[in-house]
Structure 1
Amino acid sequence: MKFLKLLFFVFCFTVFTSFTAHKFYVSITKIEYVKEKQSIQIITQLFTDDLEDALSERYGKDVHLDSSKETKADVALFEKYLLSKLTILVNGNPVKYNFIGHKYDIDQVKAYIEITGIEAVNSMEIENTILMDKFENQQNIIHFKTGTSRKSLVLDKENPKGLLKFE
């Protein structure tokens, strides 16, 4: 009887460990043009642990976010990284970002960015390479919304850039 239990355990262990765990690497960036304020408001949502790993590797130091170990230097590295990995051209012109701040939500971090002084959006070119240097399968989903239009892009390592046109 013990032999059958052992055989059953070995069989189950082999079956269950033969499946490989696969983690899905994704960020979501919501962009909204608010005509009344002549501003583009951006919210980028990332998994905190993935971001910590990327920042630690890139800057060669342990980075801690959303914990008692978080420092102002960690947040500064997060802002620096985020703004270096996100490039937006509005109507063919580069724009200046204002990093508004961030907040944590369970296992994710949301970063808030604003672009001001935008009278109209006829086109938007977006390059989002956030976490692509760390994770080969990273996908960055972009949702853009104006008062009358909604468009989306899925960017990855092979296609990190997209163009949205509005009429």
Structure 2
Amino acid sequence: MDIFLLFVYLFTPSHDFHTSWMNMTYNEDKKEFAGSWRTDTEHLEGVLTAFSEKDILLESSTIEEHIPLINSYIKKKSFLKFNGKNQFLEVSIIEVNFSETIVHFEPLKCKRKLKSIEMENNMLIDKFPNQQNMLQINYKGKMYSMLLSASKNYDKVSINE
């Protein structure tokens, strides 16, 4: 029995802190946001495996085949609104290495003055209850941020110019 407990202890993660970071930066000339999401590769593989019920391994040589699955996962587990209007986070390009995955989104058009941003984000939380999902919005020289988690998965930020 002692050997079993030692085995469990040795293979238990040494930290219980999980963070992903989403960044949205406004390009005033193009009237659109460029967006990206950085997360742990192993954690993303875990949630995608559970979500698809298939073993998912993210590698740079095969990442393109997983874009539809990642789009479905993001759509099911989050939403983003500008001025109360739904924005669709569609994957454009994915960079992946052993430790980190960076998802780049298609640009989000925003031609009207931005007054509010809303986000609900449940990504990674099912498998990692202590997950923290940060959103940083850079708009016309000002930075706005949200920190979302299992206990607070929704936030709304008012933009004051």
Q: TM-score scaled by structure 2?
A: 0.82
d(CA) in 1 for partners of 2:149 and 2:47?
A: 16
How many Å apart are 1:64 and its aligned residue? 1.1
Q: 1:62 to 1:111 in 2, by over 3 A?
A: same
2:41 paired with 1:41? no
Deviations 1:114-143 (A, max 9, x none): 212433211100111110111110100111
2:89 paired with 1:90? no
Cα contact 1:29–1:141 (8 A) shared by 2: yes
Extract unaligned runs of 5+ from structure 2: 1-5
Deviations 1:6-39 (A, max 9, x none): xxxxxxx9xx97x982232110011112221111
Cα contact 1:88–1:125 (8 A) shared by 2: yes
Extract unaligned runs of 5+ from structure 1: 1-12
2:134 paired with 1:141? yes
Local SS of the residue matching 1:36: coil
Which structure has more helix as a fraction of its residues?
1
d(CA) in 1 for partners of 2:25 and 2:100?
A: 21
How many Å apart are 1:104 and its aligned residue? 1.9
Supply the AA of the counterpart residue of 2:76: S
- The count of residues paired between Structure 1 and Structure 2 equals 151
Aligned-pair RMSD on alpha carbons?
2.3
Mapping of 1:7-156 within 5 angstroms?
21-66=14-59, 70=62, 72-113=64-105, 114-156=107-149
Cα contact 1:35–1:119 (8 A) shared by 2: no
Larger Rg: 1
**What percentage of aligned pairs have identical amino acids?**
22
d(CA) in 2 for partners of 1:20 and 1:52?
A: 16
d(CA) in 1 for partners of 2:77 and 2:113?
A: 24
- 2:3 equivalent in structure 1: none
